[in-house]
Structure 1
Amino acid sequence: MSYVNTLRMFMRVYELGSMSAAARDQRISPAVASARIMELERHLGVRLFNRTTRALNATEHGRLFYEGALRIVEAIEAAEAAVMTAAQAPKGTLFVAAPLGVGRRFIAPHVPAFKRAYPDIDIRLRLSDRVIDVTGEGLDLAFHLGALADSDLKVKMIADCPRVLCAAPAYIARRGMPEDGAALLAQKHDCLNLRFPGAKEFQWTLQTAEGPKRFEINGPFESDDGDVLTGWALDGAGIVLKPIFEVAEHLASGALVPVAVKTPPLPTQLACLSPSRRFRDPKVQHFTDFMIKECREALTRLHDTLEAHQREAEA
């Protein structure tokens, strides 16, 4: 297996563009990683990387070798997956990422149950709202909420996640209840804005009688943390657009109520992403199937709850 491990080491150096980062990823020292790459270069008789004090870039030979190494490692991992599936005993460590809200509410609570069902699989769960590089960070799979960018990742759609516009009763008592998206603008309501990386303006896409329509909203507060926005809304600072799972308990208690119910937000998509060479790994398949089932059941319950709250708001 030593040559296969060397191929994996080479691939991670190529993908990460850093010897030290690849060494950390493979849990070996930078010196060992460098020695393996040099040994591989001597074996092939070519230089795979151009090295400077500041950068490490693949040569043309390196790029060509990566393509071949990728096919070899994918074939080996597919064969290993087939054998493990036949043995029905998946084992090893899974590296999983998810957005904070999704991870806290949908994934983390079910990890202990998954571990009981598959005791030989360990989970390393990373929660963050930053943009994740699934392949570059060595992840086996990542949960994603929102529109998907084009990529070579394998995608499993989980479900549409309902969203809701809501505000505290104190805010509505002070500013009035907007019936729809047009009223949000006409009455100059305070909208609490989630700041995405690179965002220059804020738009809410709402469902109108004429179809989906974008509303350019404004407000006194913005943050890149969704929980901060929820806290501001609970304090009566304005109207917030949230996935239903982030505010379900506040809607149930009456601390927040739906607004602009005639033009509800479009749902957002919850999906699971995996590098192509990890997609058939039994660990990935079992974990994905387990969590998709839990997510779908939870989202169905939340959708029914949201419809009940919206009917109450319209009454």
Structure 2
Amino acid sequence: MAYVNNIRMFVRVYELGSMSAAARDQRTSPAVASSRISELEKHLGVRLFNRTTRALQPTENGKVFYNGARNVLAAIAEAEADIIDADKNPRGTVFVAAPLGVGRRFIAPFVPAFKDDYPQIDVRLRLSDRLVDVTSEGLDVAFHMGPLADSTLKMRVIADCPRLLCAAPEYIAEHGNPADGAALKDHACLNLRYPGAQEFQWALQMPDGVKRFDVTGPFESDDGDVLTGWALEGHGIILKPVFEVAEHLRAGALVPVAVNSPPLPTQLICLYPPHKLKDTKVQVFVDFVTSRCKAEMMRQTGDL
């Protein structure tokens, strides 16, 4: 910044033809103005002005440097104006990741409305039920179900999400309704798995506390909606956030099972790198989507 101030002082001395006039223009003293010019000359290794007691004339090097210096200051002014404008009219591209169910139900539907309000911001939405690495994958925002063990990321809780075990009535008619988590060992449990996933257990609330149960079944998938489809066809039991199966519960196509040992609730959270807190386009996207996402989630599950 000191170097830029020295350049700015040089330009004003050159244009006003006087050290004292330039000092007044920059709201400083002639001594400070002279010092800045001397620092600049020392840095460049050339004289920029010929000084006498009566006159101050630019050297040939000074004339050459003036043209470049003026362009530098103009570029800085333009960049500063762009930043100020960006705060009022954000622009650019926001890279977003979300789980399939959340993305399809609560993120993707709001993207067109966001684009209408912020026409200079583009959205690149990636949907996957695998865990994403926000930093290494160059994401601005990631929506996630449950806590994520990465203390370098900033987190915003969007909504608390109750969960349940459910299955199709046809499955229950054939295999029975498990009394609690301990009975799941005799049932087909449909699991969400993806590359790198840890061994899966279902954490359920038993009368004597939370217990984790190993569960197995004939099918696995890295797509949560595929699991729901299999459950609807009567192939097994799924563990789901209520919002993902609300419509099927209302229709009676899925019914709760093992109600004496419900799953632990989870949370829908939004994650982003700390430096993105100052990125206006990210701020407005997160604010826009999360408020609508929470309201829509409450609307869809309010009567269950």
TM-score after normalising by structure 1: 0.65
Unpaired segments of 5 or more residues in structure 2?
Answer: 1-79
The equivalent residue for 2:236 is: 238
Deviation, structure 1 residue 104? 0.8
- Contact 2:243–2:301 under 8 Å retained in 1: no
CA distance in 1, matches of 2:88, 2:203: 46
Amino acid at match of 1:226: G
Deviation, structure 1 residue 221? 2.2
1:212 alignment partner, SS class: strand
Amino acid at match of 1:221: F
Deviation, structure 1 residue 204? 0.6
Deviations 1:210-264 (A, max 9, x none): 3322122222222222222112111111111112232222112111111111211
2:135 alignment partner, SS class: coil
1:215 alignment partner, SS class: strand
The equivalent residue for 2:281 is: 283
Query: Is 1:83 matched up with 2:107?
Result: no
Deviation, structure 1 residue 113? 1.2
The equivalent residue for 2:107 is: 107
Query: Is 1:146 matched up with 2:179?
Result: no
The equivalent residue for 1:264 is: 262
1:131 alignment partner, SS class: coil
Amino acid at match of 1:168: A
Paired residues for 1:1-315 under 5 Å: 83-84=84-85, 88-185=88-185, 188-199=186-197, 201-305=199-303, 308=304
Deviations 1:55-109 (A, max 9, x none): xxxxxxxxxxxxxxxxxxxxxxxx8997357x52222221111122111111000
1:132 alignment partner, SS class: coil
Amino acid at match of 1:90: P
Amino acid at match of 1:106: F
- Contact 1:160–1:270 under 8 Å retained in 2: yes
The equivalent residue for 1:15 is: none
- Contact 2:140–2:272 under 8 Å retained in 1: yes
- Contact 2:167–2:232 under 8 Å retained in 1: yes
CA distance in 1, matches of 2:128, 2:236: 25
2:159 alignment partner, SS class: strand
C-alpha change, 1:82 and 1:214, in structure 2 (3 Å) is: farther
CA distance in 2, matches of 1:161, 1:80: 43
C-alpha change, 1:217 and 1:81, in structure 2 (3 Å) is: farther
1:213 alignment partner, SS class: strand
CA distance in 2, matches of 1:302, 1:128: 22
Amino acid at match of 2:191: N
TM-score after normalising by structure 2: 0.68
2:157 alignment partner, SS class: strand
- Contact 1:106–1:295 under 8 Å retained in 2: yes
C-alpha change, 1:199 and 1:284, in structure 2 (3 Å) is: closer
Amino acid at match of 1:166: C
CA distance in 2, matches of 1:80, 1:238: 60
Instruction: Determine which structure has more spread, i.e. the larger CA radius of gyration.
Output: 2
CA distance in 2, matches of 1:299, 1:118: 24
Deviation, structure 1 residue 198? 3.5
Percent of aligned positions that are identical: 65
CA distance in 1, matches of 2:269, 2:224: 19
Deviations 1:118-162 (A, max 9, x none): 222221112222332222222211111223112412211212222
Deviations 1:140-198 (A, max 9, x none): 1111122311241221121222222110010111111223223323xx12111222434
The equivalent residue for 1:56 is: none
- Contact 1:90–1:118 under 8 Å retained in 2: yes
- Greater shift, 93-102 or 200-209, is seen at 200-209
Provide the alpha-carbon RMSD of the alignment.
2.2
Amino acid at match of 2:84: V
CA distance in 2, matches of 1:275, 1:178: 43
C-alpha change, 1:143 and 1:204, in structure 2 (3 Å) is: same
CA distance in 2, matches of 1:167, 1:147: 26
Amino acid at match of 2:90: P
Unpaired segments of 5 or more residues in structure 1?
Answer: 1-78, 309-315
